[in-house]
A = this chain, B = another copy of it.
Amino acid sequence: MAEIRIGEYLFRRLKQMGIETAFGVPGDYELALLNYVEPAGLNWIGTPNELVGAYAADGYARLKGAAALVTTFGPGELSALCGLGGSFCEMVPVLHIVGYPSFAAQASGQILHHTLGDKSYDHYVRMSSELSCATAVLKDPSHATAEIDRVLNAMMYHSQPGYIGITEDVVKTLVPASALDATMIKMDLSSGTEDDRALATIMAALEVSKNPIVIVDGGAGRSSWASHAIDLVKSLKSLHFNTVMGKGIVGEDDPLFAGCYAGVGSSPATSKAVEQSDCILWLGHMPSDFNTGMFTEDVKSSLVIDFQRFHITVGQKQFQAGMNTVLPRLSQSIKSSSILSQRTPPTPVEYFLEVPLEVPSSIISQAWLWPRLSSFVKPGDMIVAETGTSQIGALATKTPQGVYYWTQAVWGSIGYAIGAAVGAAIAGKELGQYRRMIVFTGEGSLQLTVQAMSILNRHGVVPYVFILNNNGYPLSP
């Protein structure tokens, strides 16, 4: 019977999932583990610190669907937690792999470095469990492959981080290679138990609606669903909108795109069009403060059809049905509906402002910058916008179909943009297409994780980085 080391099993599993790069920072208890990265067919990209590694993994996963971060026990893993918290609340599947001291060393009763000095080895997994949909510290080798699969499945199912701790001894233990043949979960194929009823209810609502609209929101922004959202918008031929978190899924160059909806943060014409609709198909609504103009959305929930990962809500009625299975069928049904195909086409809403002609004097204004960037951004580009000024400002930059755009509208961690850009740029390179990486960040945000830039050139990706100096981050009085 062919056998394989547990360390290699883990990385081969990741490779099967489409992960081609592991990010991380080397450390003592993790060195044995790192020996298995490249033999499993993955690339290793060391990052200057763990927080940059976590952000890079997040950016990579947003483009490729999943990512892996490897750190060492204690200082290494704790330095990554802020990044993983962001992946958790923004629904990005990142596997955090942590190298642990051997069980023999743990059992010695001695004080090992990277511990809290109290001979306890479960502090850190407890901490990570707050930010993970599943955790495992591999103990019994006979259960190790099942435990690894459990965490990976949970990670993909919930689209959130998982945590696997592996000791220096367990990593080298042999297990049957046949475990690699077990089927991993595929979210795209799973359907809900109420898909049929949900579809019928949605179609009934649409067919009596006078002015339905689509809002493409953050929960629709996972790679496997992006195409479904585009199909829906094309089928329905209604006005469509996005949100701060939903930008970059459906092209804003479409004539029926009618703006970013963020309550009172929207343009008046956009707000009006949304708030007067009698049927709102809302794909992946994420009602966080930054995504809703600080909770100023003004729509009746009875008019909303809310598509979420595990359920669809039509008015007050919730169906156990999923975006990923219902959306493609809905697009087909719309195309086949004689009622919907005879609907009066909606009147377009002008959203993007004219580009101001005046040349700036000494100070570049936001009004001058953002609309002007619309002619710079091209299909295929990837954009990461930092929380705050960049996130709000970039709403005025038109992102045509084919542009990838990411920003943190829940986590809102400054320093994220340049780190995520590293990972997304690497992922883009792996996908083999020409992709420019454009980063919008601030002079304060950039300094949190500026060392991320050191590894971009090393891997042949050179981003455009717009650094906005808004003096918003004074360090001294």
Asked, given contacts A117-B288, A477-B44, whether A130 binds B127 with beta carbons under 8 Å apart, the answer is yes
Interface size class of A (residues with CB under 8 A): 35 or more
Contact with B along A94-128 (1 / 0, CB 8 A): 00000000000000101111111110000110110
Contact with B along A75-88 (1 / 0, CB 8 A): 11011011001101
Give A470 Cβ to nearest chain B Cβ, in Å: 14
A295 cross-chain contacts in B, Cβ below 8 A: 108, 110
Contact in complex: B288, A113 (CB < 8 Å): yes
Interface residues of A in 429-457 (CB under 8 A from B): 447-451, 454-455
Q: Does A415 contact B (CB under 8 A)?
A: yes
A108 cross-chain contacts in B, Cβ below 8 A: 295
Asked, given contacts A81-B127, A131-B116, A413-B75, whether A475 binds B451 with beta carbons under 8 Å apart, the answer is no
A79 cross-chain contacts in B, Cβ below 8 A: 51, 79, 81-82, 413, 448
- Choose among B38, B115, B289, B451 the residue that contacts A89 (Cβ–Cβ < 8 A): B115
Contact in complex: B113, A412 (CB < 8 Å): yes
Q: Which 6 A-B pairs have the closest CB atoms?
A: A75-B413, A89-B117, A113-B412, A78-B82, A49-B448, A46-B475
Q: For the complex, what is the distance from the CA of A454 to the CA of B85, rounded to whole Å?
A: 27
Contact in complex: A415, B49 (CB < 8 Å): yes
Q: How many protomers of this protein does the assembly include?
A: 2
Q: For the complex, what is the distance from the CA of A117 to the CA of B126, rounded to whole Å?
A: 19
Asked, given contacts A81-B81, A113-B412, A116-B88, whether A473 binds B26 with beta carbons under 8 Å apart, the answer is yes
Closest to A451 in B: B447
Q: Give the interface centre of A86, A110, A127 by most chain B CB atoms within 10 Å.
A: A127
Q: Does A10 contact B (CB under 8 A)?
A: no
Closest to A458 in B: B476
Closest to A124 in B: B130
Q: Does A360 contact B (CB under 8 A)?
A: no
Give A contacts to B, CB under 8 Å: 25-26, 28, 38, 44-51, 74-76, 78-79, 81-82, 85-86, 88-90, 108, 110-118, 123-124, 126-127, 130-131, 286-290, 295, 387, 409-415, 447-451, 454-455, 458-459, 473-477
Q: For the complex, what is the distance from the CA of A117 to the CA of B86, rounded to whole Å?
A: 10
Q: Give the interface centre of A26, A85, A412, A415 by most chain B CB atoms within 10 Å.
A: A85
Q: For the complex, what is the distance from the CA of A409 to the CA of B114, rounded to whole Å?
A: 9
A448 cross-chain contacts in B, Cβ below 8 A: 25, 48-49, 79, 451
A45 cross-chain contacts in B, Cβ below 8 A: 475-476
Asked, given contacts A89-B115, A130-B127, whether A411 binds B110 with beta carbons under 8 Å apart, the answer is no
Contact in complex: B48, A111 (CB < 8 Å): no
Q: For the complex, what is the distance from the CA of A46 to the CA of B444, rounded to whole Å?
A: 11
Contact in complex: A114, B477 (CB < 8 Å): no
Contact in complex: A75, B411 (CB < 8 Å): yes
A126 cross-chain contacts in B, Cβ below 8 A: 130
